[in-house]
Amino acid sequence: MAENLKTESLTAGISTVPTLTSRHEWIDWDKKLRTQLTIAGYGDLLGRHKDQPPEGTTRTEIWHDKQERACAAVRSRLSDGIERNVEDIINLHALLDKIKVHLKPNANPAIQATWDKLEDLQLSNCDGVMDMAAQIRNADKEFQRFGIKFPEELWITKFCKALGSEYSQFIMNFLSARVIAHFDKNDKTDNTPRVSFDDLAFQAEAEEGRLKTYPAQASAFLSTIKTGKNVPQILDVDGDTCTLKVSWCAHCQKPYHQKFNCYVLHPEKKPKRDTRKRPRFDPQNKDIVSIPTAYSRR
């Protein structure tokens, strides 16, 4: 019963650890994985019980069972490419050591410098979208020069992150009909198109051009609709369409004012109309003004 509870705890806990797909993820992944193994009661396989007990005892059978469950759980958090390199190992300590040797970041200063530069990359520090894309491509070539091949999905994710919050709506729209990677590469029924780095960069450049015209469009449009204190806030301008945010009255359900100054709810606040008679201008002679009085001739 206790072992079943441990297995359930291991399965639940290990599912919170992200799948390890590349070298740069290894440090955080290893830390989270070891934490979940310890919480589930398998941490002893990395410490006092990492070595096999003497053969022929009950403890030996229990130790082997725990090793198999723990190794299977770890392999479930590995990408296909990494799992193939460790699929025959059934000792938890040896398994994590092999993953470490295979994926631990290289201490080569040139590689570290390239990675650090990539980590700090932001669109605000580049000469536009295409310059940022070029820097990512150059980093990929630099890593390949040292024999390190990262999947395209990593560069796509990095590119989207570096674009910043201003492009969040663009990214959401762009990914709504695409996937960064297919969950099951062998599933022939999934026809959803994959994102390519080049296509993402091209579309982001077009969005960059649209965003550059946005302030001018917004200012021009806003100047035509200013209404005293109730100036609408422009949320988005897209070609001939503008989305505005204006005040809304919850009482009369009408825009451009709120409950505290609603004339229906507070009629006393409604401006009084000026009923006084105004001078009438002679259309034939604009310099002559006719002012009706009580003494005017009939």
Q: Give the integer Cα–Cα distance in Å for 134 and 131.
A: 5
**Best CA proximity match to 66, nearest among 39, 28, 86, 92:** 92
Amino acid at 103: L
Angle at 174 between CA 170 and CA 176, to 5 degrees: 120
Q: Can you read off the two tokens belonging to residue 223?
A: 């100047």
This prediction's pTM: 0.40
Report phi then psi at 267, rounded to 5. Answer: -60, -25
How far lies 120's CA from each of 109, 129, 147, 246, in Å?
A: 17, 15, 23, 38
Q: Can you read off the two tokens belonging to residue 263?
A: 């004339």
Angle at 231 between CA 228 and CA 237, to 5 degrees: 145
Q: Would you state the pLDDT for residue 84? A: 83
pLDDT in tens, 107-124: 567 777 888 888 889 998
Q: Give the integer Cα–Cα distance in Å for 131 and 138.
A: 11
Q: Which residues of the chain have pLDDT under 50?
A: 1, 286, 288-298
pLDDT in tens, 206-229: 989 888 876 555 555 555 555 555
Q: Give the integer Cα–Cα distance in Å for 19 and 80.
A: 10
Q: Give the integer Cα–Cα distance in Å for 190 and 194.
A: 10
Beta bridge partners of 244: 234
Q: What letter would DSSP give residue 55?
A: T
Q: Would you state the pLDDT for residue 89? A: 87
Query: How far, in whole angstroms, is CA 268 from its chain's centroid?
Result: 50
Report phi then psi at 108, rounded to 5. Answer: -55, 125
Q: Would you state the pLDDT for residue 236? A: 66
Q: Would you state the pLDDT for residue 293? A: 46
